[in-house]
Each structure stands twice: as structure tokens, then as C-alpha cells.
Structure 1
Amino acid sequence: MLFRIHDEYSQALEQFDGDSSQLVGIETQLHSCVELKQEDSSQGFPWLVVAAVLLVLIPAGVWFFLSWQSGQRWQAYVSRLSTQPGIIVAEQKVRDGQFYISGLRDPLAADPQSLLSGTQVDPARVHSHWQFYQSLHPEFVLKRLTASLTPPKSVRLSIVEDRIVAEGEAPDTWLDRARVAARQLEAGGPVFDISKVRDVSPAARAAEHWQTYVSRLEAQPGIIVAQQRASGGHFYISGLRDPQAADPQALLSGTGVDPARVHSQWQFYQSLEPEFVLKRLTASLAPPKSVRLSIVEDRIVAEGEAPDTWIDRARAAARQLSAGGPVFDISRVRDVSPEARAAEHWQAYVSRLSTQPGIIIAEQKVRDGQFYISGLRDPLAADPQSLLSGTQVDPARVHSHWQFYQSLDPEFVLKRLTASLTPPKSVRLSIVEDRIVAEGEAPDTWLDRARVAARQLEAGGPVFDISKVRDVSPAARAAEHWQTYVSRLEAQPGIIVAQQRASGGHFYISGLRDPQAADPQALLSGTGVDPARVHSQWQFYQSLDPKFVLKRLVASLAPPKSVRLTIIQDRIVAMGEAPAAWINRARVASQQLSADGLSLDISKLLELTPQELTHSRDAIQAVDIFFDSGKAVPGPAQLPVLDKLANQLTELAKDAREAGVTAQFMLTGHSDATGRETANVSISAARAETVRALLKKRGVDPELLLVRGAGTFEPAETEDSRTGSSANRRVSVTVTFH
């Protein structure tokens, strides 16, 4: 019976939300499942009570399940709405089994009612309230643009990366409306890009075809477009055109421009385009078959052989083109007439002359088989007549006129300087990189003449350098010797030259001098300076040169023979052995020198202890004061040892003072390994303090006694026996000298 109820009422049970009116008839069938039988309460199981409870619980459970399922379906529907473009859910709620929803909806968005399909939500229980708005989602904007603009079939609207893009062809009227729509969308909507739509209105097409035609004309060699415009459906163009250029009317073909609407005005001109110039040259010059004209890198080049008459005409054409046209190069055309061969030989001779130093060609010409040349020639230059040899030019046909001049070529200037100055054998003149250089020794009279010549050449000739010629006159030699002496002084450590001068044959010098520096008077030896003519004034000062500082240290410190003072990299280093007193004096000197930026390194000095002090130190350091376990005071057996130790310490302190050093005694307390380490350290320090007090009581100066506790860290013996433990309970003495 229960299976049959599920089959008949499955849909009603799934949609059950607490309203029992949806389950009419089910109660009768449920009653038939229950058989009532009255029996004595004392007999059997209370089946009637169980059945009554089940009748209450089953509908309640079904109701709760169906309510939960209904809520889940409603939320799924709301989520579907929220994901729909053009729909904004503002509010949604469930009350008394009814569903309420409100918000904004674009008219082009999906119908919320239709979205109920498949959600199993009862449409009759859904109450919706939607307000219309225009969504800026590209999909809806595209639909509205399509509806409002009605684009022609040749235009396609699409969405590209959230931008609405129009592509294709359209008339200008549609483009104007599209531009208005694009401006409206700029306020906040998606971009509406119409840049890819081509204007296909008749006027626009005609203008486009016209611009294509104008571009074609401008690309044509020999055609210059000066002005072009479109007006009233007609096209006007004017400019310059070479007669050999393409016909502008013929270029209209294929452009789509109506020739009847084109009004052109062309003025003829001769284009300097190499292509047209070549055609005109070929037509005007009519070159022989042995000559070939071609264009090479925008130059018109003629190659081959031709008579002089044709070459003359070609030269005239080349001169005309030089005013602004392309270069017309006829240098590769060889003149095959006899006169040309003679002229060719003549030009070879002229070229030879042009390369000769000291020869300047002012004019040269050929007339009636005769050769004429004139110019300037240095008398020292090569003979022009001798240069005719080997040129195949007939000397009888050469008429030359040369005027003499002085060439400024270094080679000729050198020859003239040698002739005019007559340098002594001790002076050598040479050419170095276009400069004339004099080297050696000469008297001042020759040097004066050389200086005059150098000044004259400054006006435009080569440089005449006499800086390497040494003046060997007596006054110059004396001045040179004086400068040598001054340089020698300046190089001496401990000497500072403040001022020096020469006057009236005498020499004056002043400055600072360290008393340990070299004697300036002695340095005159070998300089060639007369000591009687030298007047010097020196003020003494202490130089910081390490060499002089070392001398002063040796004099003031008087180091023992076991100490060596040396200079290492501008530092004074003391090495060896010395008494502590001397080391202390050296340390004071080091501190004084450091204030002046100098360094006296005494780190390598070892303290030298007298032999008798060494014996006493060794004897004291061999003494140990022993203690009982756990005790900080030595037993009675150690008192004689303390008495003897006190005497030894007092004696050593006295002997050390007499030797110029100070003895200091370190009392170190030790402990065995019994007990905690902290306790061992404490008791070791207490033992050292006790010994210090006992020694002080016996007359030892307490200022010389230092104490420390070593704990178990410095054992005398390993503690594997009772003897080892007792040996470690001690106070040891260490002696140092300062």
C-alpha cells in the first residue's frame, strides 16, 4: 500500500510545503493500512499507540524534507538569474511558502519566467517585480545599435574584446548616424569603433578614385603635380610634364575616374630625371656605335672611343647639365684623334709637374698643336724641361713661362735655412713631421739669428723648432749650471727651496733646511757654479722625512745593540730585544710621532729580562701553595712555604726596579673536579684571595699582586688518582715584567 501511495503522489510529495490540501485522499489510504482492534490493556504490545505516533511523525518528516528541498530549488533559481546579463537581483525572500523577487531587467535580457523551467519551482508561487533599464553590456548595446542604426548588409557589427566593431562598406548617411551613436556611448558605454567602415557613397568613391589617380601621377617620373582639387563633382589638376613622360590621360585607365570630369592643365618642361636626360642626350648627340651611354647610380656614363668632335659636343652637354642635372661622365670615352693622343701625353706631363714640390702650374693650354704652360717655380725645384723625358711630348712644341718664388715646402725651407743661417757643425737641421727641427749646441749669436728666422716662418711657413739647441755662451752656460744646482737641491731630502733667482751674474737662493740634510755648499761641487757668486739664506726646520726622523730617534733613544731601527715602506720599525724601560721610552716616542703622521712600529720588540731576574722568576713560578679538599685557607704545613715565597717576591720586585722594569705577580687559584663547576671556580678565586692577603701580611706590596680563579680548567695533573686531586688544589704564581 505504501509503494502505491508513493507512485500516485510522488510529485505532490516532492512539492509538499506544509499545505495538506495538496494530499487529498492520501489520509483514507493511510487509514486502511491501520487495523484497529480493542483488547484488554494488560494483553500484548501497544500497537495502537505505535501506529498513532507514526501517523504524526511521517507527515511531519515529509513536510520538513520537502520544505528544505523547496528552499534549495529557489536558491538555484536566484543564482541562475544573477548570472544572466541584463538582470540585476535587488531583493529576494521566502514567506509563507511564497517566493518574492525584485530588481532591474533589460528588455533584451532573458525572461525570468522562462528561466523557471527545469528548476522545479512552482511558477504560481513566484511573485516578481522587475523595473526596466538599459544595460551597457556589449551584447545588449550591439542589439540596440543593430535595431536603431539598421546597418546595410555590407556592414557587420561584432564584439571584439568588449568593443563593438563595425566593418565593411556603408554610405555617408549611415556613417553620420553611426558617429552620433559612438559619441553617445563615450559617456560610459563600450567603445563603438567604426574606423573599419569604408564610405561608399558615390561622392566618396569618386574622391577615393581621384586620389588613387593623383598618387599614380605623382609616382610617374617627369610629372610634377602642382595643384589638384575636387569641386562640384569635377576634378581639376595642373602641373609640369616632360614630353617624354607618360600621358596623364592614359593613366586614367583603370582608376574608375570619369575622364569627362577631369580638367587638366600641364606645362611642358625638361625633367632632369636621368632616364629622360639619357633619351635626350642619345637623340641630340647621336653617339657612334663605339660609345655606349648608360645610367650608373643616377649618373649618365659614356664609355668607349670617339673622335674629338663628338667628345667636344659631349663636353658641352656635360657643362650644361652641371648647372643642375645629373652628372654626365665622359671620362671613360677615349679620344682616338692624333691631336687627342698628343693632348693625352701633354696632360700626363702636366700631372707630373703638378706633383713636383716647388712647382705651381697657373695655366696650361693646347693650341694649334702647340703646348703652353706657365706658373711659379722655386729655384731649388726640379727643372721642368728635364721632366719632359719619357712623356712623348715634343720639347720643340712646348712653350713654358716660369716665375721664380720661394716655396714653403719644408724641403726647400730647410735648404734655404741651411744656406742663410750656416749652422755650426754642432747643430743638425732635419725635417720631423713637416717641422724643421734644430738639435745640438750653438752660441747665443747663432740662436738669435735662428729665432728671427723662426718668427719669419710663423707667418705661413713650416714650424722652425730650435728648442733642442743648447745655448753654449758663457752667460747661458752659467744659468744652465745654476738650474742644475737648484734641481739638485730640490731633489735633496730635508731641503725646501722657497725662492731662487739670477741677477747681475750672481745667484740668490733661500728656503728651509734640516740640520741633518746635505750641506748646500757641498752640493755646488761638480755643478760648474762659482761658489763666490752664490748667496744663500737657509732657515733650519725638522724634516719629517723618515731618514731624518730615524737619525733623530737613534740620537734621542740611544737603542741598545740588540735593537735595530730600519725604514720599511716609509715606516720606522724597531726589531730585536730591549729592556722594558727602553721599550717604554720608544712607546712614548711612537705616540709623539703618530701626531705628525709618522709611524714607529715597536710591535716586533721583545722584552729583554736580566739573567738574575730570570732565575728568580723561574724559582718563584715553581712554587705552589696547596689546600685541603673544600678549604680556602692553606693548612699549617704551607705557612713556611708562604714565608719563603713572600721573601722571594719582595727581593724580585726590588731587583726589577733596579733593572729599570716593574715585576708583577699573578696568583691563580685552582680546584679539583669534585663538586659543581661554579663552586669550584668560586673556591679557586677564594684561595687566590687568601694567598694575596697572607703575602700582603708578610710585607709584599699588594699593588704588585693580581688574583684570578681558574677552577678546574688548568689542572696540574689528571685526576685519575687521589694524588692528582690534591695536586690540583693549589695557588700558582706567574711573574711578568713591564
Structure 2
Amino acid sequence: MRLSSIFIIATTFLAAGIISLVTASFAVTMIEENSEYGVRQALDEKGLTWAEVHSNGLQVYLTGTAPSEANRFLAVSTAGSVVDAARVIDKMELAQSQRLTPPHFSLEILRNDSGISMMGLIPAGTDRDALISDLADIVGEDDVSDLLDVADYPVPDGWEDAVRYGIEALDRLPRSKISIDAERVRVIAMADSEDAQRKLEAALTRAAPAGLRLGLEISAPRPVITPFSLRFLIDEDGVRFDSCSADTEEARDRILQAALRAGLTGKASCTIGLGVPSPNWAKAAEMSIKALGKLGGGSVTFADADITLVAVEGTAQGTFDQVVGELENSLPEVFTLHAVLPKTPDANAEGPPEFVATMSPEGLVQMRGRISDELTRDAAISFAQAKFGSDVVHNSARIDETLPRDWPVRVLTGLEALTQLSNGAVTITPDNVTVTGNTGNQDAKAVISRLLSEKLGEAETFSINVTYQEKLDPVASLPTPEECISRIKEIQGQRKISFEPGSDTIDGASRQTVDQIAEVLKACGPIKLEIGGHTDSQGRETMNQQLSQARAQAVLNGLRARRVLTSSFTAKGYGEAEPIANNGTEDGREENRRIEFKLIRPEPINETETTLEAVERDSGSDAAASEDEGTPDDKN
């Protein structure tokens, strides 16, 4: 065979091979594209848009992240309905399961005369045995009922502090419900009296940890008021209540509104209590206050259902008769009115006899003037010594047998009224009993008014000029926590707290400073306080932190040794972490070596106003509608 023939045959076979290869490649590409397009279209129709489709030859690969195993199986099945299932290669992944959300941990503790009950859900990390032991220390081990559930999740931030505070509050409150979670503690409790209520609220607020939301709902039982009294005056000293009682909040608001219309300004309050003589108390009080306003002055006094209205001296007889007549005819049943129009005194008449008892700010009591007989004198001295102390009472009153028959009652009643004052005087005449002075008890006026109304009788007149002074109030006179910190800073500004070199021992020169700070903290009462220790940057950081902690603890121990109540204080060492000056200079390092007293306060609580201002705002709305830190310590 010739060479040319061989070449032609070989060329023919080569061309045929190339054509076959091209044809096969084109066919594979067509199959890949059609398979990929068909599967993707089917997946999109079923909402499986998260799945990706890739083909390689006859194989179809599914990739992507399936939300669940069910979605993954559905994607494979859908692809197998378009192409042969054997050609489908599953390369999909499953989305990781979301972590379970931790439950809401809460603890509710109930305390009553039967003991303590706990219920709720607490973290497994909470020391349950220690919690039960703390409660057993309050009421006894046999009186603690444990109904708690436990969940194995991390302890939330703030949980331990909230539980510790809740136990501290429970210890103070024999009848209470404490609801605790990591961010909030709600205290519902009953106090024995309004005074105890104020003291508990102040103490619990001061002791609350920083950042804790605190809800206090401490109520006091309504007092039994005997006699149920009210005394309203209009005179040269202004328009005011000496005493105000009401049986309901609605009655209180009605009485205060009537007083506002009669000219009352400023703050006023009305005690809500039990013992009202008639459901029409508020109506009778409104009418009487309105009548006094028409007279232009005087006083109106309620002692249960007996009303005494005393007009101001010089009131026209015609006006007096008209106003009193209208009031008598409109008062509700049960109430009786005794009206008095004082006569103008005779300028030439001799002054009336009197008995005067005075109490000085130091507590010394002196009695002078006249006493009707020896028995009354002995009774007055014995009563005064029993109330004020046998060493502080001095008597210079003389016996006068011509005094009125009710003089002994008036004298003893006056002395009893004096016990409500911090300092002041009681003056007794045949026609009047006058009480003047200062007090730290906001309810003193009301107590004195009820006392005089009950003991002297409805027809007697008396006057009360008693001033409440916050500095005499054992609760209100406490300096605020901010004032306490300010005083401590003043002391540290004069002399810093220093330590012996490289030690946590307070040096001799600084002990007087600690003495002064201790006296301030004793006067401040329980406050939440952090004593922070700070150093400069010299030395190792770990050693500085340990030294600052030891020095802060040494100051805390020093205050405790000086009989300061430190249960709400903490000591914390910051080391060199919080400089206040440049550590590159000696003066700067000296400033950075310091002890700081930092106040820790809970978040503020919104309270609903129930004072006269709220009544005034409501009254104004109705009227409108009708018209149309510390000094450094030494680390050297």
C-alpha cells in the first residue's frame, strides 16, 4: 500500500475521533446544564432557596445549610424527582441547634408567725444549704419550708447580692413577702406603726446593693383614733390644721379641698384611721371649715361628734348668729355644735391666774404659777417625774384654793401635752390652755389636739403653736448618704490616711483621721459604703493589688473597732488600676496612693404622691376644666 493511502485513512480516523469527542462533550454539557436547571427550578418552587445546585457530569451535588433535617430530606427528595436519585450527591450541612435560653430565676420567700416558706426556681450554683441555714438562723430550722426547684444554668449577674439583700430584709420584717430575681427585689411587708414604717423604708433603701431595682411596699395598720379629731384654725399665724383625721382617702381629699378653699396654703396632711363617729364625717368637716372661712377667723374643733366653733374676738354678733345658725341646721345627724363668740376683755380687769410648765432643750422641766391644792401638787410632781425623769423636774408653783374645780384636770392634761414636745411650754388659765414649742414628731399637733379635746371637753378653748423641726426628728435628722460622704472628704482633705511603709498598718498620725471618720459614720446610720484601696504603679501589679486590698480591709477593721456598724460596708483593693494622677512623678504617685470612700446606692424608686400638692394639682385641673471621693494613703 502506498504511503499516501495510509495517510488518508489515518486522517479519516482522526477526524472521526475528534468529531466524536466534541459531540460527547457537548452532550455532557447539555445534560449537566439541563439537570442543574431542572433541579434548581424544582427546589425554588418548594421554597428551598437555601439549597445550592452544582453538576459534574452526570452527578448533581446539593450544597448549602439546611435549617433542619426535614428540610434536608425534602431537598434530596425533590432533586431525586427531577434526575435519577442515584445521581444526587448530598453535600448539605445542618444548621447548629440554637442554645436553649436560660430560664428566669426567681425566689419568693414568705414569712409569718408559722415560719418561712421558699418557692421558685434557683440556679444549681446557688448554695441551697447555706440559704436554708441563713433562714433557719432567723426562725429556727424546723420552721423553714423548702419548695424550691433547681435548674443547671449559670448563676445570673447580681443574683447572689439580691438573695443576700432579700435575707437581710426578711430578718427585719416578721410579716413579709420578699420576691427576688437578679435585677430586682420587691418587699411587701406590714409595719407596726407609721413611725416604724418610715424607719424600715429608710434602713432598707440605704442597705440595698448598687444597681438593684428596689420596690418597697411597707404598709402600716390604720391607727385607732380616739377621739376622732380635727382642728382647723384661721388666725394671725395663718390658715392651718392642728389636727386632721379622716376615715377614707376620699374623705381626706374632701377635707383638704375645703381647707384650700378657706385659704390653706403649703403642705398639710390628714391621718386616715379607724374610729370615725359617723360616715358623714367629711361632710360635717367641710361645712364647719366653710363656716369658719365665712367668719374670717377663729377655730373649729372636732372631738368625735362634738364640734366646737370659736369665732375670732371682735366678730360681729349678726354675722356670728347667721353663720352658726346655717351650720347648725345643715349638719348631719349625730353631730352637735357648740359655738363661742369671745367677749372683748375689760382693760381694767386683773389678769387671770395661771400655771406654766416649761421644758428646756436640755430636758429640764420647771413648773410655776398656781396649783389648787396639795394633792394636785403632789400628783403633778409625780406625773412630771415619771414622764421626764426625777432629776430634771423643779416645782415652784404655789397652792391657791380659789382656783376653778377643773384646775387639776387642766394641769395634768397640760403636762401630758408637754410630753409631746422636744422643748416648749404649757400655759393654763381658767379660759384657755396654750401649748407652744418645738417637736421632732410630725404628728405631735394632732396628738396634742386630740388629748386636749378629750380631757378638757367640747366647751373649752385651747391653742396649739407647735413647730415641727426636722433636726429633732430621729429619722429625718439623719444626714443623707451624700452628706456623709461629703463630710468624710472634708476630713480627708485636711489629713490623709497613711500607712507604715510597705505595710497595711495605719500609722499613728492617721488614727485621729480614722477617729473623725468613725464619728461621722456613727451619725449617718446604716449606709451602703465601699472602702477602696489604691496604690501607685511601682512594684508588681499583683503585689499592689494585694496591698491595696489589705489596706482597705485595715480601714474597715479600724472603723469596726471604733464601734461603727460596718455590716453594710465592703473593702475592695484596686491596686494600680485607677490612677488619678501621673505615676511618672513623685507627687502623682503620692496622690495615687489613697483610700476612697464610695457611696453605693440602689436605683431610685418612683412613689405616688398623696400630699396636699397632689390635691392642689387635682383642684387646679378641675377648675380649669370648669372654665372651659477621698485622699491618698502612703505606700512608701
TM-score, normalised by the number of residues in structure 1: 0.21
- Highest CA radius of gyration, 1 or 2? 1
Structure number with greater CO (CA < 8 Å, separation at least 6) is: 2
More strand by share: 1
